A and B are shown apart, each in its own frame.
Chain A
Amino acid sequence: MSGDDDSSGWQLTESDPGVFTELLKTLNVPLVVDDLYSLDSASLASLQPLRALIFLFKWLPGAGEPSSTGGQYDTDFPGFFAHQVVNNACATLAVLNALGNIPSLSSGQQLADLISFTTGMDPQTRGMAITSADWLREAHNALSPPSAISLDGLDLPKTSEDAYHFVVYLPVLGAVYELDGLKPSPIRHGSYENHGEGWIKTAREVIETRIATYPPGALEFSLLALHDDTFPALQAQLAQAEASGDHATAAGLAQHVANETAKRERWAFENSLRRHNYVGMIHALASALAKAGRLDPAIDGARTKMKERIEARKAKGGSGMDED
C-alpha cells in the first residue's frame, strides 16, 4: 500500500469538534463546531443558525462502496470548491469548502484574501493554492503533536489508524450541495423550501439515505455541525435575566451556560494536550519512578502484561503485535 505519502508538511490531526473550533478561532471566524448525535429537529434546534453539516466517516475495507450517493454533479458550481490534494489536510480542506460558501463570512484578513485569491480557479488549482498557504498549514499543524520527535521519516509501520474522510453539506444559492474534495465536482441534491427547517430537511434526507446504503457495520462515522457561536449571546441573555429578576429563565440559562462552559474548558484542556511535546514528561515520569525505586517493578509488570497478551493472542490464533 503506497497511497499518498507526500504530506507536504501537513500533519494528521484529530477530527474532534474542539480541534475544528480552535482552527476557526485562529481564522478569526465566529463559528464553532459541535458533535451532532442525531439529525432530529430537537437536536438541531439548539445549533441554530446552522451553516453546514460535516459528515465524517472511516470506510472499513471489505464492504462494497455504494454506487452513488444520489444527486448530480454540478460542473458549473458557482461557489467555492477545492480538491483535496494532500491527505493530511482533509479536515482543514473540508472546513474551507464550507467557509468559502458562507455569504458575508466574518473572518481574518488572511482567510478572506485566500478565498478571493482563488476566485475563478478550477478545483484542483484551488486545492493546491490552499495547501500551499503556509500560514494555513501552520494553523492546521498547531493542533497536532509538535514534530520535534517527528516519526515521519523513520519508516515506522503504520498502525491501523487511518484518516477519516470529510464531506460537507450546505446550502448554496437555493440548493443543497455536497462538497467532497475527492470527487470531481460538487454534487447538487436539489432545492429546498425557505420555511420550516429549510435546507436542513433536504440535507437530513440525503445523509440518512447515504448511511443506509452502506452494509450494516461497514462504516464508522460521525456528524458535525458548523454553526454560529451563540455563547456570547447566551451569556448576555443570562446576565439580563438575572438583572431583571427573572429567576426561572435565569436558572435555565445558567444551566446552559454551565454546560457550555464545561465543554469549552474540556476543549481547551484537550487542545493544550494536543499541542504538547511529551518527551520531557516521559523522561520526568520514568525518572520519578526510578528515584522512588519503582521503575523495576513497573518494568516487571509490563513484561508480565506482554506475556499475557501473547498468550491471549495465541489462544485466539492471531498474529501481529499492536498495542491495545
Chain B
Amino acid sequence: MPLTDRSTILAFKAGRAFRREGTNTVEPHAEKGAVVIAKGEDELLHFMWKNRVTEETDEDLILFPTDASFTRVSQASGRVYVLKFSSSDQRHFFWMQDGSAARDEEFAYHVDRLLQIPGYIPVWQAAAPEAPQASTSAQPAASASTATPEQLAQLRALVDQMSGATHFEPEFFLSDVLTPANFTPLFTSHPELISTIFPHLPPDLPTPPSAEVLTQIVSSPQFRGAVLGFDRALRTGLLGGLMRQLGLPEEAGTSVEAFLRAIREQAREGNAGAESMDTD
C-alpha cells in the first residue's frame, strides 16, 4: 500500500509520541512514520499517521474545519508538534523525522491551515513541482533522528502542566443544556417563547400542551434518550443534511458546539416571532 497517492494533500516524515497511561509523561516512539493528510473518498479531510516500515495506516482521523489545530510545542527545544482538539483534551504528539529541519515550519503551517480553513490549498515556497512527500521507496536514506534527551525532558515538563483524560471526552453533554431547570424561568420571563415549543410536542398527547406537560416531557426517559442520541449523532459530524431541514447551515451538523452556535445565530437573526427558515 503506497504511503501517498492522488488524494494526498501533503505528507512529511514524523514519529509519534504518547502519554503513558496514568502519568503525565509523554514518550516518543522510535518508529519511522509520516503524517499524511488526504482527502478521502468521503470528501472528508483525513489526518493520518502511517508507519513507513510496515506501510500501515495506524491513525486515521477525520477532521472537520476547526476541530483541531497543529502547532509547535514551544516548550520543547526541537521539532515537536501537537495535534490539539478544540473541543476536548485529546492530544496527538509528533516529532519531525526529516534529516533537515528547514521545512518543519512550512509543513506545520500548511497542516494547521488545512485544519482550520475548508478548501484550503497549500502553496509551497519551493519551486519543486510536487509537494514534498514521504518517500515511497523501502528505506529512506537519512536516518530518522530520535528525540534528544533535552527534547524529551521539555516535553515531559510541558505535559506535567496539563491535566485531562487520556481518551476523548466531550466538554459538555447536550442533555445538561436542555434541562428543565434551564428553561423553567422562561415560563414567567418569556411565555411566548415557550409557546413556540408546543407545536413540536407529540401530536397525540392525551392532554393539551402546557408548561407542566412540557416539563414532564423534558424529564422523560424518551426525551432524554432522544437528546443523548442526537448528541452522539452530532459528534459523528454527519448531520449536515438534517440541519438543512431545520433551516440551519450544514456546518451546524458537524458538532454539538457548531449546532448550538448556529442556533444562537439563527436566534439573533430571527428575533422574536416567527422562526427564520433562511440558511446561511
Query: Which A residues are within 8 Å of any B CB, using their own CB?
Result: 145, 149, 151, 154, 156, 265, 268-270, 272-292, 294-299, 301-303, 305-306, 310, 319, 321, 323
Contacts and interface: CB of A to CB of B under 8 A. Distances in A.
5 contacts: A276-B202, A279-B226, A282-B174, A292-B185, A297-B182
Nearest to B216: A269
A287 B238 contact: no
Given A290-B264, A290-B267, A272 B206 contact: yes
A292 B270 contact: no
Contacts of B218: 285
B43 interface: no
A40 B196 CA distance: 50
B80 to A, nearest CB: 27
B182 A301 contact: yes
A289 B182 contact: yes
Nearest to A295: B264
B196 A284 contact: yes
B182 A272 contact: no
B169 A321 contact: yes
Interface string B167-185: 1011111111111001101
Contact of A286 (B201, B223, B260): B260
Main secondary structure, interface of B, reads helix
A273 B220 contact: yes
Contacts of B189: 292
A289 B228 CA distance: 19
Nearest to B224: A323
Interface stretch (B111-119, B125-133, B229-237): B229-237
B193 A288 contact: yes
Contacts of B207: 269
B255 interface: no
Contact of A288 (B183, B227, B230, B238): B183
Given A149-B229, A274-B222, A279 B206 contact: no
Interface in B148-174: 165, 167, 169-174
A282 B267 contact: no
A277 B182 CA distance: 22
Most chain A beta-carbon neighbours within 10 Å: one of B199, B203, B246, B248:
B246
A283 to B, nearest CB: 5
Contacts of B216: 269
Contacts of A319: 165, 167
A7 B230 CA distance: 21
Interface of B: 165, 167, 169-179, 182-183, 185-186, 189-190, 193-194, 196-197, 199-207, 216-218, 220, 222-223, 225-230, 232-233, 236, 238, 242, 246, 248, 259-260, 263-264, 266-268, 270-272, 275
A301 B185 CA distance: 15
Given A279-B242, A286-B177, A299-B260, A154 B196 contact: no
A291 B167 contact: no
Nearest to A278: B226
A296 B259 CA distance: 13
Q: Which 7 A-B pairs have the closest CB atoms?
A: A290-B267, A302-B176, A302-B172, A278-B226, A276-B202, A281-B200, A280-B200
Contact of B204 (A275, A294, A323): A275
Main secondary structure, interface of A, reads helix
B190 A292 contact: yes
Most chain A beta-carbon neighbours within 10 Å: one of B172, B223, B271:
B172
A92 to B, nearest CB: 19
Contacts of A296: 264
B230 A278 contact: yes
B170 A306 contact: yes
A306 B171 contact: yes
B229 A151 contact: yes
B202 A272 contact: yes
Contacts of A291: 190, 193, 267, 270-272
A151 B272 CA distance: 33
Given A284-B197, A306-B172, A321-B165, 18 more contacts: A149-B230, A154-B233, A272-B202, A273-B202, A273-B223, A278-B222, A281-B223, A283-B246, A286-B178, A287-B275, A288-B183, A288-B190, A294-B182, A295-B267, A298-B177, A305-B176, A321-B169, A323-B228
A284 B193 CA distance: 9
Contact of A292 (B186, B225, B259): B186
Contact of A273 (B217, B233, B248, B275): B217
Given A275-B202, A286-B178, A151 B172 contact: no
Contact of A302 (B173, B225, B248): B173
Contacts of A310: 165, 169
Given A154-B233, A291-B193, A294-B186, A306 B173 contact: yes
Contacts of B175: 323
B165 to A, nearest CB: 7
A268 B172 CA distance: 33
Contacts of A149: 229-230, 233, 242
A288 B194 contact: yes
B263 A286 contact: yes
B206 A145 contact: no
